[in-house]
Amino acid sequence: MKRKTNRLDEIRKGQEEAAKRRRALVRELSARRKSKQSDNAGNACEVEDAFPLYNIDIERAIAAAGQLHLIPIELDIGAAQTLNRPMIALLWEFLHTITRRESAVVLQWPVGQRDISLLHPLTMMALLGEPRKHRTNDAEWCDPSQGCRTLYFPWRGGASAALQKTLLARRTDILDWNKYHLMRHYMDKKSDATVMDKLHLTLGHLSQLSQRDNSKPHLAHPTLAESYPVFSAEAGVEKPKLFRRAHGELFGRVRHGAALDRQADHRGVLSAPETAPFGLFGVSPTAPFHRALSAPVFGRGGSGPQLPDVCLLDLAPRTMNRLGSNWAKIVEDFVTESRQRFPHIPFFVVTQDAYVHRRMTGMLRSVTKTKAIRSRVVVRISQDPVSDDPPVAFANAIEPRFSTVSGPTSDAITALSEAARGSSDPTLAGTLRREMGALRKAAALPCGLEQAYKILCQELGQSAAETFLEYRSRGTLLAPLKEALASEIGGAERARVTSARDAVKRAFDTLDQETPIGSLFAELAKALARKSSRTLIAFGSDCDCLLGRDRLVSDRESGAAIGRKIEREHLRLTSIEALEGVLAEIEGTRHRNGWKRLVLVSPSFEWMSIVLARGWLPDELIVVCERNLAKRVSESFEKLSSHPDLSGDGKLGHRLSLVADAAMLELEARKASSVELELDEGAEASPGDSVIDLTDDDADGHSKIVVMTLATKRTLRAREGSAIVRHNHGVDVNPFERTCARHIKRGEAIVVPDQTFLEEARETLPIRVLARSWTDIYHTTVQAHLSSIPGGSLNAKAKYVLSQIRYRGGRTQTEAAVLNWLKVEEHLQVDAERRQPHAPQRRREFDAFMAVLGVNDTLSERMWVEGIQPLRIDRRRAGHRMAQAFVSVLVDPHGTASGLDSTVRSAIKTLRKRTFDYLDQVVDIETIEGSERHD
């Protein structure tokens, strides 16, 4: 009889087997974890070996670099000079990045070192002199030095290290610390010579160059460029060239004097890409990044890892010009590929542009997945490593003020910028950007181009006058635009170039007779000449200074008085180039407090930054410039002033903050359209003068209304966003400022646009306005973009446009209305006096129409505000609202009047003088909801 199995025994047996399996699994997982930790430790050691520059003494390395003397060589041998302060600061940051493996982005402001690759040979010299000395018996020796292999991007061929060929490294400085390395090798004869020992032996041979100190001093010292090997990865015709051999010969200039080829020549090992201890590996932007960074030179040779120690990104102005507008994408691709190939490599970025500085900081944080990105600012005014560049210990507080103008020149610069941004040809884009600079220089002249030519011919001769004005002439700027239009470009790109060409033509139509800058400067100079304190006026060039002086002394009313002021140096005129010397001269005298103000007439952004980087400036800074410059100053300086390296009382950041605020105030004060409406004599007036109502019944009824009680017992009502002209009695020129009703405060004086003012304005300024010219611009713009609209006929194009407008939220109902907008050829045949804008009635549909055509927002805004809206019949029926027609005449008379004849300009001056009779003071303000009714 078979024994019956006990169920309980089976359960217990199963539990024991399960427990055994669990214990076995735990032991296996534990063994795997220990193995993984061991592998990680091995990898960590491997990484440490791959980056031997982890424990260098930065202070000792900087001290060694500070003792290095560089000798400039051009036509003759210059005096030996040590590294200046900003170069030492830049080298310190570079060594810190290598040592701590913390990526850094450094901004050189306002000027920068032109050759950033110079950091590599300076690091080499610093590291060779960094090891500590020891003494054994009577022999002195030092610890071994460490190499540095630098990955450099972007490589630009010979231009990357052109400056280094003109700088000699003093031979005795190298030999002084190299003898301790030689002594270490002499004491340790049993060990085989390493690659670094072979470098020290080669450097020791330089002692023989002393025989050339008198006969050939330029060959008695090596240059920085020949002291290390350079390898490059470039795009070849058939296949890319990936670090195959060194550029040039190591110590090639001095090899005969040092007899390097007649002794044990180790330069072959020192210049081999796999073993070079101080190799610079440049990667061209056109090279395939993946293949370049995967080259065998970055593999592991017999002597250990040969990975790059740091990646140096040179984003100086010349480099940025070569990379083009797509620089961010190119740099990001390189950084991403480098990070994937070398996960632990630190990046060191050097730039001279504040925007690039911020952009690269964010890019590195995104790619490296770390927030430990150091952001630094090095203040410098030198472009080379040895020029005197003292630190700015204290920056005195100043009172900045901007006086800006707009007009056709500003519109042309905006149109050129849009054309350059949308160009598919990098060469054309670069040409257009250079044209923007040329147009700014033409607009910066203190007088019109025709008058400038006459004056310069008399003072300098015809040849010099033509040379100076050629870069600023109409033909020079229009030639590349016409050439581009004659090419095969089409669609929206062609339309943008066409708009830029027309805008440049309109700008030169005004600049031939008068420049807005010149008109504003002449008015400002008359006001400054009446002051008892001294004024220093700086122009963009010596020729501009000559033209400015002639304009002041030739004025019929005040020319003689201003001439005497200039002779007594009560007014001192100079150029931007000579300004630093003049300021240093004034600062060193005991009468410097008598110079109360500095006037910069149309400076460039770079030169203005250089001036603001000085420690001492006169108490007042007045900048006369085009409005686009004030906008750039406001945006750039506002962000730069808050940087920790600049912020704080008595530092440059506080000064930059004041300048940024002043620029923003000026922009808000001059925010007005440069167009005048044709006032209708039959315009309907308000019932009385006790209440001036500027509210628009067609506006949003829910917007708030500002009710101002005036000192004359009258009441002015306006929407909170309505334009109000405020009078600033504290300025010498352009005292009328535009602001919104919500910003008006008690006690301020404003221009009251009552019926008397309107009648005075109509009588004094009977101009037909520039609105019609903007209407022509609108029609020609639509005509230029017609070819880019899909459709074989005008009806098909209208159907497509209608569908796109509805897709963007427009409420256009009929295809016939759109077809009427597109019939621009018929509209342009109408006489200019009777031509009306054939455009959408409402702003929403107009914006959608412009978006379909591909017109940029800035241009479409100007066409709507200054061309289409003013000519609407319902706008001309308004009473007090017509006072808005004169806002631009009051706040920007020089920009508004540019291009108009002398009669109209005279009428504008007369109106502004009479406007002082219509000022009134605000004694009380009340803000109410727009839906409330008023009697």
What are the CA-CA distances from residue 404 to residues 219, 377, 624, 662 (Å)? 55, 29, 6, 11
**Residue among 775, 779, 789 at smallest CA distance from 853:** 789
Question: 800 exposed, middle or buried (CB, 10 Å; 0-12, 13-18, 19+)?
Answer: middle
Say if residues 361 and 581 touch (Cβ distance below 8 Å): no
Confidence of residue 799 (pLDDT cuts 50, 70, 90): confident
Confidence of residue 816 (pLDDT cuts 50, 70, 90): confident
Question: Contact, 311 vs 348, CB < 8 A?
Answer: yes
Of the pLDDT bands very low, low, confident and very high (cuts 50, 70, 90), residue 657 is very high
Q: By the 8 A CB rule, do 789 and 772 touch?
A: no
> Which residues are bridge partners to 717 per DSSP?
693, 707
- Closest by alpha carbon to 780, among 843, 827, 848? 827
Contact 391, 86 (CB under 8 A): no
Determine contact, residues 480/368, Cβ cutoff 8 Å.
Answer: no
- How many angstroms separate the CA atoms of 5 and 532, rounded? 122
| Contact residues for 305 (Cβ-Cβ < 8 A; gap 6+) | 46, 49, 50
Distance CA 380, CA 84 (A): 10
pLDDT at 27: 73
The torsion angle over the Cα atoms of residues 593, 595, 597 and 600, rounded to 10 degrees, is -130
Question: What's the pLDDT tens digit per position in 96-153?
Answer: 999 989 999 999 999 998 889 999 999 999 999 999 888 888 888 998 888 899 999 9
Per the listing, tokens 């009258």 go with 714
User: pTM score, two decimals?
Assistant: 0.76
Predicted pLDDT at 864: 74
pLDDT for the residue 425: 81
- Closest-CA residue to 139 (of 173, 180, 178): 180
Render 305-355 in DSSP notation, one character per residue: E---SEEEEEE-HHHHHHH-TTHHHHHHHHHHHHHHHSTT--EEEEES-HH
User: At CA 52, angle to CA 179 and CA 106, rounded to 5?
Assistant: 95
297 vs 280: CA distance, rounded Å: 12
Tokens matching residue 404 = 């800006």
Kind and range of the H or E run holding 625? strand 620-626
Contacts of 47 (CB under 8 A, 6+ apart): 344
CA distance 556 to 113: 48
The label of the residue with tokens 């160009």 reads: 423
> Is the CB of residue 825 less than 8 Å from the CB of residue 753?
no
End-to-end CA distance of the chain: 119
- C-alpha count within 13 angstroms, C-beta hemisphere, residue 55: 8
The DSSP string of 880-904 is GGGGGGGHHHHH-HHHHHTTS-HHH
Check whether 805 has a pLDDT greater than 70.
Answer: yes
- pLDDT above 50 (res 288): yes
Q: By the 8 A CB rule, do 796 and 818 touch?
A: no
DSSP secondary structure string for all residues of 52-70: -TTS--HHHHHHHHHT-EE
Which letter does DSSP use for residue 102 in this model? -
pLDDT confidence tier of residue 499, bands split at 50, 70 and 90: confident
Q: What is the rounded distance in angstroms from the CA atom of residue 119 to the CA atom of residue 115?
A: 8
Percent of the chain with pLDDT over 70: 85
Cα–Cα distance for residue pair 337/565, rounded to 1 Å: 64
Measured distance CA(348)–CA(94) in Å, rounded = 7
Distance between CA atoms of 544 and 548, rounded to whole angstroms? 6
The strand pairing partners of 707, in sequence order, are 717, 926
Q: What is the mean pLDDT of the chain?
A: 82
Distance CA 628, CA 443 (A): 12
Q: What is the DSSP string of 515-575?
A: -HHHHHHHHHHHHHHTSSSEEEEEESSHHHHHHHHHHHHT-TTTHHHHHHHHHTTSEEEEE
Task: For residue 867, give the DSSP letter.
Answer: I
Q: Name the token pair of 278.
A: 């101080």
Report residue 301's pLDDT band, with 50, 70 and 90 as the boundaries. Answer: very low
Check residue 691 and report its DSSP letter.
E
706: left (phi over 0), alpha (psi -120 to 50) or beta: beta
Say yes or no to pLDDT of 172 above 90: yes
Least-confidence region, from 283-297, 621-635, 769-783 = 769-783
pLDDT tens for 428-453 read: 888 888 888 889 889 889 998 999 99
Distance (Å, whole) CA 364 – CA 358: 10
Radius of gyration of the chain (CA): 36
Q: What is the tally of helices (H) and strands (E) in the chain?
A: 35, 27
Is the pLDDT at 850 greater than 60, yes or no?
yes
Distance CA 420, CA 321 (A): 13
Q: Which of 338, 342, 283, 339 is nearest to 314 (CA)?
A: 283
Which single residue is written with the structure tokens 């002449």?
A: 522
Cβ pair 121, 227 in contact under 8 A: yes
Least confident stretch, 543-547, 652-656, 771-775, 797-801: 771-775
Evaluate whether 434 touches 480 at the Cβ level (below 8 Å).
Answer: no
Of 84, 80, 79, 78, the residue nearest 66 (C-alpha): 84
Contact present, 799 and 852 (Cβ < 8 Å): no
**Count of Cβ atoms closer than 10 Å to residue 608 Cβ:** 21
More confident residue, 54 or 820: 820
Q: Which residues contact 292 (CB under 8 A, 6 or more apart)?
A: 233, 240, 242, 243, 283
Task: Return the biggest CA–CA distance within the chain.
Answer: 143
Q: What would the mean pLDDT of 912-934 be, rounded to a whole number?
A: 76
Is the Cβ–Cβ distance between 623 and 601 less than 8 Å? no
pLDDT number for residue 855: 79
Q: What does the pLDDT average to over 295-302?
A: 69
How confident is the model at residue 722, as a pLDDT?
78
DSSP β-ladder status, 230-234 and 280-283: parallel
Q: In whole angstroms, what separates CA 455 from the centre of its chain? A: 34
SS3 call for 590: coil
DSSP string, 373-405: -EEEEEEE--SSSSS-----------EEEEEEE
C-alpha to C-alpha distance for 210 and 766, rounded to whole angstroms: 85
Q: What is the tens place of the pLDDT at every residue in 576-609? A: 989 999 999 999 888 888 899 999 999 999 999 9
What residues are paired with 621 via a beta bridge? 400, 598
Exposure string over 355-392, b if 16+ CB within 10 A, otherwise e: ebbbbbbebbeebbeeeebbbbbbbbbbebbbeebeeb
Check whether 770 has a pLDDT greater than 70.
no
pLDDT of residue 326: 85
pLDDT value, residue 71 = 93
